[in-house]
Chain A
């Protein structure tokens, strides 16, 4: 076999796996109030997302454990299935039975998926404590651009000038050499707002596991799975005047990982070094009777992989700019128009030299509330890519309030949306095989549902039920080339899916100093290949690594300064090949943590103990990648905070 093909296929295998966790808290139009923490989200998309399912993830985990990755957050607080190659290893997410490359990941308005692979490794994303994470379920090409075929993960750091000063340090220790150190601080005087965050996570991952591939299934110690990750984030916001603001955001993540081999494969001492630098400058002002925002960004993504016989270096510089303008045309009619340009400069060993690609898109989003209980949104986006044009992607959605009395509110919602995905740089430029003439993938999604909101005296909650259908055309797949000897991407598959999602979150203040917050989310997912039907062997079989059933539940009890949290997930059978010959058995996973806060004047100390995989379940989310058994963590944090004084109007 040609070695290069094998290496590439290996990379594809590693990266080409997909999965989908989701999140927490419910969104009806204007804004989202997270049930657990006071957390008003200022999503720029939410206003235009009528009829679609957007949920805010409970970000309490980010606050309590600075440095935790999005992979861990979604695993513990979302109903999505996380495809993880090991503890801290590559982890991807897919929505509604699509692939991980069908999940767009946006950070403050910019797509941050790796342009080479067209997907994001959620183990490389440790969001800062003030990050709001929301999950768009279903296609949303008009709002989120290329890649939002199954859904989108949206990370935003809202600007707040509320005067304050705060410093926090934290140290966490755990099993298998786990260590996490964090130092975060923020300051605002009403005109200038600063926040800084540094975190470092490291682990040896030398846990014991049962090697089910070896004769007699012996217990072994995991080899070659240690990693460390440093993340530094800085934000500076400055009010130029009452109506103008300047912001600079920087996020640098550096990750060194040994790559955990699968059981039964030789340890080739694989190591992956990632460096992700993201810088954004943003100006926002009120001009021309509306709000205008101009952004420019520079991302640098380095991914270097080496093992005993392979060295693969890649660096991609991405330059992006966005201009958007929003204005209220009528009291019940809101419009946003915008455009963006992207320039990718890739220096990838596999492309045989430096490569560039340019992409542009423009969009218009409309939100119209013709009646008090009816909200409509119509969004459209057209993209242009060097060499070809993706389709026009419209979205039409509506919310209709069926019922409202003092305590109950019942809303009907429906949405139809088109999506597209530009082929990745690998798909287009990899040598040999890369095909610059590939068509973009495109998809359609339809959904409808009901949202029930309840607000009584001590009890409040939201329940959302959604049913959907989804279709992806021209799904790109690598296969042996027509002339043999290597592999090549082709617009091969058509995939159809449908499913139902139930999400319910509740808060109960049952005594003066006792409260309970709990949520449950269930996803039923069917996703099947319809084309090609050569030999009719893959039709009507569930795509691999898409569990039909996934349930996630979590609860937190608080009493005075104590809290006790538990989360549990049940994941159904997952086929590990598209032929459905092999599968992973269903498993349940439970985590729990107990914490107490000590307060003294402006100081606060927090002690937290966690147990992960409480039931010591032996499980895998990707076949033959061992996952850790029961393990423990202990964290202590110290915080000093005080409200500040404003330099502007008090």
Chain B
């Protein structure tokens, strides 16, 4: 890190801290919370190597869309590749992967209030409480080194500690005082004690753990699947196995239900649940598949198919399925579906919608 970056970093910390202090002082309960208090937030990656990431806002009640919410409110681009977005109380934290930062905005007004910088290929975030969060970092984008989890102080917007995990960590989950980290290039999940921020244990699953869900009974589901390549970029047939969906009891992680996919040619990803947490959804190829948390087999047919399918979300209130699609260099599209898979309507967002956050 050079001096300029360091200075900028300090500036952000200072600005962030000041804003936070101000907002604490002035945010009385009787003030209106803001125009974007409730709705669907769509993270659009944008075109890699350009700061064209954006967050789109959709209000299901009025069916209004604001495709470029961040820029509209803050009068500047969000950054390069918006990977994910997490709400912590009245803040929204947007992880901007190729800008190595997390933009912190007021969740109700979307006004910027701080930046966490100095990260290296940050991916996903989870919060323990209003003042402590975690973010996975790849460190490199070529799977050549172990990744890490950065411990974030959500009051000062600083990194307080880093914890080494496996290679290319993706999703992470806070559950019952423990932090679970999916090491997606390995076959492991790192378990971290959130009181000490020390690695407690490393659980072995199958190749490519990439996403988590917690069901209504408190069991954790982990979705595993990854295509591995040889050095000549042909598929490594030996290492690339069919994916797995695994349920385990966090109190006894060796008690598991393992559902194996039938083929290694496509790999599953993007595990989410409905609001009642009794139904799971994931993507495989161009399809969205769903199963009950009581199921003992994987579904054979998808609930819907869409060419160019990219992001997946399920609205917790009505169980509507949201699917993001798009080319790499033009506006993407979001299509809403009934739980049965019947398309309802669609709207245009920005480049490469990869995820949905409902609030």
Contact = CB atoms under 8 A, between A and B. Distances in A.
B141 A485 contact: no
B142 A482 contact: no
A482 B286 CA distance: 7
B115 A215 contact: yes
B289 interface: no
Nearest to B309: A484
Nearest to B139: A309
Contacts of A263: 51
A3 B142 contact: yes
Interface string B297-326: 000000000011110000000000000001
B141 A480 contact: no
A616 interface: no
Nearest to B354: A1
A264 B77 contact: yes
A478 interface: yes
B49 A350 contact: no
B330 A431 contact: no
A644 interface: no
A535 B333 contact: yes
Nearest to B114: A215
B195 to A, nearest CB: 32
Contact of B351 (A349, A535, A577): A577
Given A263-B51, A309-B140, A483-B286, A578 B79 contact: no
A76 to B, nearest CB: 27
B91 to A, nearest CB: 16
A310 interface: yes
Contact of A309 (B77, B144, B232, B348): B144
Contacts of B331: 537, 577, 579, 581
Interface stretch (A8-16, A39-47, A632-640): A8-16
A356 interface: no
A624 B50 contact: yes
B141 A624 contact: no
Given A262-B80, A577-B329, A309 B48 contact: no
Contacts of A220: 4, 8
Contacts of A535: 333, 346, 348
Contact of B233 (A218, A223, A350): A350
Interface string B16-54: 000000000000000000000000000001011111100
Contacts of A262: 49-51, 80
Range class of the A interface residue count:
35 or more
Interface string A463-499: 0000000000000011110111101000000000000
B286 A484 contact: yes
- Indicate the member of A12, A218, A221, A266 with the most B CB atoms within 10 Å: A266
A578 B329 contact: yes
A6 B46 CA distance: 11
B63 interface: no
B267 interface: yes
A623 interface: yes
A265 B8 CA distance: 14
Nearest to A311: B142
Interface of B: 2, 4-5, 8, 11-12, 15, 45, 47-52, 67-68, 74, 76-77, 79-81, 83, 98-101, 112, 115, 121, 138, 140-144, 227, 229-230, 232-235, 265-267, 283, 285-286, 307-310, 326-331, 333, 346, 348, 350-351, 354
Interface string A244-279: 000000000000000001111111000000000000
A310 B142 CA distance: 6
Nearest to B97: A1
A14 B128 CA distance: 40
25 contacts: A6-B48, A6-B81, A12-B328, A13-B48, A13-B329, A14-B49, A213-B51, A220-B4, A264-B80, A265-B50, A308-B140, A311-B142, A477-B329, A479-B308, A479-B327, A480-B326, A480-B327, A483-B266, A484-B266, A484-B309, A485-B267, A535-B346, A579-B348, A623-B52, A624-B51
Contacts of B285: 483-484
- Indicate the member of B11, B49, B79, B331 with the most A CB atoms within 10 Å: B49
B233 A212 contact: no
Contacts of A482: 286, 307
Contacts of A372: none
A61 interface: no
B80 A431 contact: no
A215 B76 CA distance: 7
Given A13-B47, A266-B100, 13 more contacts: A4-B229, A10-B48, A215-B12, A215-B112, A217-B76, A223-B2, A264-B80, A266-B80, A480-B328, A578-B329, A578-B330, A582-B52, A623-B50
Closest 6 CB pairs of A and B: A264-B51, A352-B232, A309-B141, A431-B233, A265-B80, A309-B140
Nearest to A430: B233
A9 B80 contact: no
A241 interface: no
- Indicate the member of A6, A213, A265 with the most B CB atoms within 10 Å: A265
A310 B310 CA distance: 24
Contacts of B266: 483-485
Nearest to A212: B76
A457 interface: no
Contacts of B112: 215
B50 to A, nearest CB: 5
Nearest to A310: B142
Interface string A603-630: 0000000000000000000011000000
Contacts of B115: 215
Contacts of B286: 482-484
Contacts of A478: 328
